Structure 1
């Protein structure tokens, strides 16, 4: 029905047929069917959007399909397909403020709305073969023995348990910044063929919940939102991605790496000195934001632990007056720390902004900036650091010294154990 030629590589051809969509990397000598959630349907027309390198397909009776940024297909060759793996060039990724507007409003469920391209930097990778699990290897050996009419090995209980407990194979993507520091690690299925995964510009989450968060019935997350704690958005700049394969209990580095830019609009008009000053300030703000986020998380967990220790002190089968007083003192201290870090106990009509609000304000104001940091932002940063360091010292003393001391005293008094405490 339709045929199209890539405007950069004339040997890259696309064809729409009665039974799906195909592409060729050798001028039509061999054709490969493209699936990727595309149903087997008649493809009546093909259009190429040159600005974003998008491939648009018009089907018979099933609407339009868009393949975002098909540029990696230009890098495919017979040599590439014969390699065990390949990581294709990464398109520079634009960081912007996403709208949470639903757009459909009150139009009803029949109002069509297609999902936007994934927000972030998209990595395209190729695996010649997916790693086989222990179970798959055993079953193949059994089938081969059956073909040859030979006896096969019957698995032991230990071998079956090893199959059940085997960790799933995956590809590990490590993203590092211009200084070589790891910004994020993400995983993707170790599936055969060409696959994609997107990094959402966020660092690792500050905490890992014990149980996966559940979305209440009837609610729908906005596009791009995720449940549970989220890491902070990284600062714009140059990043590098490398890959590793986790299979059979071992992690193997895969050849190749790709460098890309996380960009914002307007930064190209800055001088080299202004960009350097802004990048240096953004790195400092990002490090402070990570420290403050970690401190808030530890303080929140410590508040929960202290509440349990208070209950344990009240149930101690001994003279517990000193234990109860000590637990109340720790509770007061953690409340003061939390108030400094995240607010919540206002003593006036216009409370002083807490530490985390100050650092988030600086980060949000400079992340998409195309000018050097202002003097107000520099002053805010210095003031926030001066407030945070004493609070962090108090939290460290509470966590490392005072809480363990109370736990030891509770254990000596025979008080009920709290989660995470081992009897001495």
Structure 2
């Protein structure tokens, strides 16, 4: 004997959430009692249709009405697998049975009220999770990606629904914002972007969810700052295209409900295939606390919502002004990282075109001009980026160059939420001056060696080389 075999035992307790003197209890032989004076006196308020020896598995007091409570009971040991849930709005004086929509053999282990939306309920049953939007008048299955499992309990914690299964682990539906915002006809809209929960600057990011009535031909997500300027754009990417750690986020193109996590960063600096950097975590700064706008556009139709970014409440001694200063400094660094990487990209685009032109002609003047360009542009490229890198550990053997040092400074400036110190600014200025020297040299190459090469190409009726031709696809080294 370990207790449950002995009847007349209090099996569940439901503390009041509005009036602390209200406490509900349920026993393993089907009795429900309530006190409204902190336990001084108790009243038997058992539902009249409670089956004999029903085990009251859960009582959940409402967060919206002190007299409301939800009771679930189970009787599988008595060969009764039916669902049993009741609701009262008058401290148990009357009860309403609320099980419509739950399958006949799904006995109920727990029922919980959503703490932020009145009449939104969740039920843990022997056959998964159920949800009701109308205070239990009708239930529907809520089992996305979940096997047919016995769920023994569930709880709503902030913006997540956590469930415990019998023998199959814990599961978390970690963003129930769309469930809370569901309304009749909402899914009839072609595009709907749900209101996300507040995002914290030192956490994962802002979880955005949207509904698309049909798979769109075009899709774009934009993040706008308080001034209405677009600071981040995310679009779908070719699934067959090569990817590396710098490839960035992309959107899934599909109908129905989709979720995307914005990492709270702006548009990343330019990158190129096969780029290997040391000690670099990001290509873009993290935004400071404030209100931002997310705008989703599908086939020309848009939906917007506000994204609130908050400071980490656990970090003390840092002001919003400090984080804004960090962000502004990060934007300055990012611009220089972008400038450095763009120079490498331009050189590589030009080189790809030159190699193509050389396959089309044996002209001596073209080959000499191409050789001169290769020599000078290649040296500048090697000053900006460590071209000998081929694997992630190569920077241990080959010195990192200015684009890597700039990107590392961006990462180091975000070690914490504080404003940049004087040392960071001094180092940044040194690298700015170094990069300017290389880009000035590169401009001389564009004006000199490239101009001479294009003149030679014109003599043999071949197209000129354009370093900024975005149609040129760079290959992986």
Both proteins in one fold, TM over 0.5: yes
Deviation of 1:284 after TM superposition, in Å, equals 1.5
Greater than 6 Å deviation, 4+ residue runs: 349-352, 414-421
In structure 1, what is the Cα distance between the partners aligned to 2:423 and 2:372? 38
TM-score by length of 1: 0.65
Q: Deviations over 1:124-153 (max 9, x none)?
A: 1234x326xxxxxxxxxxxxxxxxxxxxxx
Deviation of 1:300 after TM superposition, in Å, equals 3.0
- Partner of residue 44, structure 1: 151
In structure 1, what is the Cα distance between the partners aligned to 2:182 and 2:161? 16
Deviates more, 1:295-304 or 1:76-85: 76-85
Q: Secondary structure at the match of 1:269?
A: coil
- Partner of residue 124, structure 1: 209
Alignment of structure 1 residues 275-424 onto 2, 5 Å: 275-309=323-357, 311-312=358-359, 315-316=361-362, 318=363, 320=364, 322-344=365-387, 353-396=400-443, 398-399=445-446, 402-403=449-450, 405-413=452-460
In structure 2, what is the Cα distance between the partners aligned to 1:400 and 1:32? 69
Q: Deviations over 1:173-210 (max 9, x none)?
A: 11134452332223343413x4322234563573687x
In structure 2, what is the Cα distance between the partners aligned to 1:385 and 1:278? 18
Gaps of 5+ in 2: 1-107, 236-250, 275-280, 390-395, 472-477
CA contact (8 A) 2:269 2:338 kept: no
- Of Structure 1 and Structure 2, which has the larger fraction of its residues in helix? 1
TM-score by length of 2: 0.58
CA contact (8 A) 2:127 2:151 kept: no
Deviation of 1:14 after TM superposition, in Å, equals 0.8
Counterpart check, 1:195 vs 2:279: no
Q: Secondary structure at the match of 1:367?
A: coil
Q: Secondary structure at the match of 2:172?
A: strand
Deviation of 1:358 after TM superposition, in Å, equals 2.0
Bigger relative CO (Cα 8 Å, ≥ 6 apart): 1
Alignment of structure 1 residues 212-227 onto 2, 5 Å: none
- Partner of residue 185, structure 1: 234
Count of aligned positions: 330
CA RMSD of aligned residues (A): 3.9
Q: Which has the larger radius of gyration?
A: 2
CA contact (8 A) 2:220 2:233 kept: no
Gaps of 5+ in 1: 98-118, 132-167, 214-229
Deviation of 1:78 after TM superposition, in Å, equals 3.1
Given the superposition, is the C-alpha separation of residues 402 and 241 from structure 1 closer, same or farther in structure 2, using an over 3 Å criterion? Answer: farther
Counterpart check, 1:253 vs 2:316: no
CA contact (8 A) 1:15 1:22 kept: yes
Deviation of 1:15 after TM superposition, in Å, equals 1.9
- Of Structure 1 and Structure 2, which has the larger fraction of its residues in strand? 2
In structure 2, what is the Cα distance between the partners aligned to 1:169 and 1:253? 14
Deviation of 1:396 after TM superposition, in Å, equals 4.5
Given the superposition, is the C-alpha separation of residues 406 and 265 from structure 1 closer, same or farther in structure 2, using an over 3 Å criterion? Answer: farther
